[in-house]
Amino acid sequence: MDTLLTALFLLLASAFFSSSETALFLVNSKKTAKNKMLLHVLKRPFVLLNTIIIGNTLVNIVFSGIVENFFSNTVYSEIPYKELKIFLGILSTALILLIFGEVLPKNLALKKAQKLSNLVAYPIYLLRQILFVPAFLVGRSTYHLTRLFAADEEKGFSKSEIKYVIALSREKGILTPDEAELIQKIIRFSHTEIKNLLLPRNQLIALSEEETLQKVWEVMKTEYFSKLLIYKENIDNIIGFIHLKDILNFKEDLKSKRIKNTLSLLREIHFIPESKNPVDALKILRMKKVSFAAVLDEYGGTSGIITINGILRHIIGESVEDSVKKTNDIQKIDANTLIIHHTADITLARIKKIFQIEKEWHNEEDKIIRFLLEKFDRIPAEKDILQSLGLNWEILEVSNHAVKKIKVTRG
């Protein structure tokens, strides 16, 4: 009886390793992002794989020895030929191990990969700690053997070779200087870590779900945000974001409504693991048709926010939108009249400098749109007029709740 119980335990252990291997390497990366233990286990896939293989091999060896001996001395004990008994014992053991230790567990894991990976993460983590040394040694051995046998494989171009080709193409006139520089930037971009592209967590502005919608509106108005992150308990648990349009269209009293009681306003936010490379991150953003996503570190905490515009800035230095804004953003009609476009990018100090105003403005580093929102205490409408700082501010154009054009006059 003890032998059978031991064999059953070992068979279950074999099934555990087989199903764990399948589930952990098929798990959905998006759904994995919030499980800190699972992320930690998956951080070093080669050590993980070696741990599972070592554990499964040890279990299968012991199981095979016990069960083969059991079959030989009981089920096939009447067979007079020793070699035949051993053969039948091995065959029976192999069939049991194949069906119940490999095929069945792996098939079940294929159907329930996400759920199973969450369940096995902690036990596998403990086993990895126990078997870390042998797993590491096996990993190093296979690494060197792989390099030995793969030495003659065709290699791709190195970074220096690509740079040489670009330089030669530029010299021969195949590429213009701007084209060559852009290609160089794309190459550097592909080798950049995602953490170098994101807006880090210490610069994020977000609100707890316990805050009121009035607070959301005030932050949006002050910071001129069209989107605001919302978290539960702390910034490591972002649950979504609120869009300015939804606040403006909200018919009830903002002061009396807490975010957690109006979760219908929350829009879904997408998560990207920090381990992703920038190219994959850009693909995810484009595939999901979103402009930004939260980036999670190896423990599932919030590392920051990555945006398509931020990625493009890194590649080409500035976005197309930025380059447009830098031209014709202030049109000088005469010595006392300005037409201003893109009010979110121009500071009061710039207006002060153009008009050569010497008087100190306490808020001169504020963007114009922030200044207008504070004065009007709402999104300004077309034809609204404000008299402040010795100037007349007239709203000429508003589109999608954004001030596009204003006229500033002196005197």
Given a contact cutoff of 8 angstroms between Cβ atoms, the answer to whether 220 and 226 are in contact is: yes
Are 37 and 129 part of one and the same domain? yes
Residue 280: inside a domain, yes or no?
A: yes
Q: Which of 268, 292, 316 is the last residue of a domain?
A: 316
Q: Are residues 268 and 222 in the same domain?
A: yes
Residue with tokens 């069906």: 99
Claim to verify: residue 9 and residue 145 sit in the same structural domain: yes
| Closest by Cα among 7, 8, 6, 16 to 123 | 16
Sheet of 238-243: strands edge to edge?
206-208, 227-231, 238-243
Q: What distances in angstroms separate CA 218 from CA 172, 234, 254, 354, one per listed residue?
A: 57, 20, 10, 30
174 within some domain: yes
Helix axes 308-316, 278-288, angle to 10 degrees: 140
In a shared domain, residues 102 and 69: yes
Question: Would you state the pLDDT for residue 152?
Answer: 47
Q: How many CA atoms lie within 13 A of 233 on its CB side?
A: 4
Helix or strand (DSSP H, E) at 71: helix 45-73
Strand, coil or helix: 25: coil
Nearest to 248 by CA among 221, 209, 210, 208: 221
What CATH number is given to the structural domain containing 373?
3.30.465.10
The CA-based angle 140-143-147, given to 5 degrees, is 145
290/237 same-domain check: yes
Is 213 inside a domain boundary? yes
Tokens standing for 44?
């070093």
The answer to the question of residue 267 being in a domain is yes
The helix/strand/coil state of 95 is helix
Please tell me whether residues 400 and 295 are part of one structural domain: no
Assess whether 47 and 116 both reside in one domain.
yes
In a domain, 154, yes or no: no
* Secondary element (H or E) of residue 338: strand 337-341
Q: Are residues 80 and 25 in the same domain?
A: yes
Asked whether residue 20 falls in the same domain as residue 128, the answer is yes
> Rg for the chain (alpha carbons), in Å?
32
Split into its structural domains, the chain has a count of: 4
Distance CA(210)–CA(138), nearest Å, equals 51
391 lies in a domain?
yes
Would you say how long the chain is, in residues? 411
Report the distance separating Cα 269 and Cα 266, nearest Å: 9
Q: Residue 325 has which token pair? A: 């804004």
Q: What CATH number does residue 249 fall under?
A: 3.10.580.10
Looking at the fold, whether 14 and 116 belong to one and the same domain comes out as yes
406 burial (CB, 10 Å; 0-12 / 13-18 / 19+) is buried
Strands 227-231 and 206-208: parallel
pLDDT 10s per residue in the chain (411 long)? Answer: 678 888 899 999 999 999 988 888 877 655 565 677 887 777 777 778 888 888 899 999 999 989 888 888 888 888 888 888 888 888 998 999 999 989 999 888 888 888 888 888 889 889 888 888 887 787 778 777 766 665 444 455 566 666 667 777 777 677 787 777 777 777 777 777 888 788 888 888 899 999 988 899 888 877 767 889 999 999 999 999 998 888 887 867 788 888 888 888 899 999 999 888 888 888 888 888 898 999 998 778 899 999 888 787 777 654 444 444 444 688 888 889 999 986 666 888 888 888 888 887 877 777 788 788 888 877 788 899 999 888 999 999 887 667 888 999 987
Residue 308 shares a structural domain with residue 368: no
Please indicate, yes or no, if residue 263 is contained in any of the structural domains: yes
305/201 same-domain check: yes
Give the domain extent around 225: 196-316
- DSSP assignment of 242-264 equals EEHHHHHT--S-STT-BGGG-GG
